[in-house]
A and B are shown apart, each in its own frame.
Chain A
């Protein structure tokens, strides 16, 4: 393999990209707690997943069923992405021009892969609204959707295993923040999602 030396020596420094968690809609919908890691203005913001892990970024694959253009001066797009367990509310505004262009072009319905930031918003009536700020959205095939269901199920079950051990700092935080949360619900959701894929 010929390697260009220039491609090699460039350092990204100590920069670590936050991983994209695999989470079903039914779990993301239950998030009630959002926090910053660090004092810095640029410190990443996380939502705490009820299975006991922080998430700054998520990766979802589902069906884009609806898309609406909104706003007069500040145009933005909203969309609904459906997985076997529920619905994700996604949005892309002028701060994510590439994502907005991608979303604008997609004809519904379509299987889409979304990389984005989970965002928790408390409405004036006290109820919570979870949405996903899109970093990128691409049309994919059904195979990718099925692979995602396996992936999301596996990672949900992995998180539940760690939750049941109970010693990880994020798990302890989760038990404080969501005292009534029952991981069995999310195990059941993972099972139902898997069962919807035809053998």
Chain B
């Protein structure tokens, strides 16, 4: 048993919920249980974990088999494995990916009817090399978590055997709003393609279905192709990652099939009500690059970061700001038509001001600001990458019924 690895695993589990534990102490306890008391490694790990749970007053979740020694030999469905479990599974290798470090022999995705999980076979595990498309019986592997994504660890105590099996697996796509970190499939449409922010990135953009939207990324690798904007795909075995509370889909491990036809994408619709507490610089009237497909905002000197000086710019209106409901502040972006209807200032009127007022574009900023700052509005739009792209924005109206309800509530017994 690798005591320090097991101790790390336990400590990670607790530190995730904000509990600090002493890794060296855990390692010592594990060693003592196994070496001195002859306890099986998986049982030692479970017992140390439970002891800590008690210490922190955490109820032991689903004690099914919890006290049974050697339950790592119990066969489980892949979807049932939770971090900290020792499991035995039967599954099909549906993807292999390049190992991230020399200590890893193989990594990829293994699936059964219930779901799929990323696996990592340590170099020291001496596990046989697995082949994509083949089925394996994997005994006494450990489920842990890496960056919030469950991971099946194949270590030196794990037995891997190829089995003859050629059932076909038909995974079910998950609605985008129900995705959580791990491996999943979606049926979605490519709504947008974004500028690659990294030279190793082949493509990034936005996928949507009826329930929501999610960012996707494909990294450059032999055989990887870009998705077509506007096309619908069924995607299996993609990796759902979480970063700063936002999910994204990594498609490098995925099986991707383009589909005929179209699907409705109403996804990501949110409504937020609050007051506009900040109007950011760059709001008001702006100039955009006229080069086909560019549309970038130009600097004051009419300079596009890509196409340099563009004297034949195109005017546009927008508001970048913060909408605050008292609990949370939302980054909002209002485009021209929304700005026009909210402020009553049309693009033409703004152009007049920008070209004739001594303050120029700044005057438009000030007028827009004075018309919206501090006002209660309700914004409907799509939340993308932490910002709400607002489709409609209306002033909130005073509701007599709400007033009456609040009077009631405040007047009620304290």
Contacts and interface: CB of A to CB of B under 8 A. Distances in A.
B409 A199 contact: no
Contacts of B197: 9
Interface in A128-182: 135-136, 138-140, 143-144, 146-148, 150-151, 153-155, 157, 160
Interface residues of A, number: 54
Contacts of B40: none
Contacts of A148: 275, 376
B406 A113 contact: no
B216 to A, nearest CB: 13
A21 B326 contact: yes
Given A14-B244, A17-B329, A143-B398, A5 B374 contact: no
B391 A1 contact: yes
Interface string A1-37: 1111111110111101111111000000000000000
B374 A199 contact: no
Interface string B390-405: 0100001110101110
A159 B27 CA distance: 44
Interface string B369-403: 11001111000000011110101000011101011
A147 B374 contact: no
Given A1-B391, A17-B329, A194 B370 contact: no
A131 B31 CA distance: 60
Contact of A194 (B193, B386, B410): B410
Given A3-B389, A195-B407, A150 B402 contact: yes
A69 interface: no
Interface in A88-118: 112-115
B414 interface: yes
B293 to A, nearest CB: 9
Contact of A8 (B329, B385, B396, B404): B385
Interface residues of B, number: 49
Contacts of A157: 406, 409-410
A150 B329 contact: no
A4 B373 CA distance: 24
B411 A191 contact: yes
Which of A4, A21, A143, A160 has most B Cβ within 10 Å? A4
A187 B414 contact: yes
Interface string B312-348: 0000001000101111110101010000000000000
Contacts of A194: 403, 406-407, 410
Contacts of A11: 385-386
A82 interface: no
A154 B406 contact: yes
B263 to A, nearest CB: 18
A63 to B, nearest CB: 14
A75 interface: no
A52 to B, nearest CB: 14
A50 interface: no
Contact of A150 (B244, B384, B398): B398
Contacts of B400: 199
Contact of A115 (B277, B376, B385): B277
Given A8-B194, A9-B194, A136 B373 contact: yes
9 contacts: A2-B335, A8-B192, A19-B325, A113-B275, A146-B398, A153-B410, A155-B326, A160-B414, A195-B407
Given A4-B295, A140-B375, A150-B403, 18 more contacts: A1-B391, A7-B333, A8-B385, A9-B197, A9-B385, A11-B386, A17-B324, A18-B329, A20-B326, A59-B326, A136-B374, A140-B374, A143-B397, A183-B414, A187-B414, A191-B407, A199-B400, A199-B404
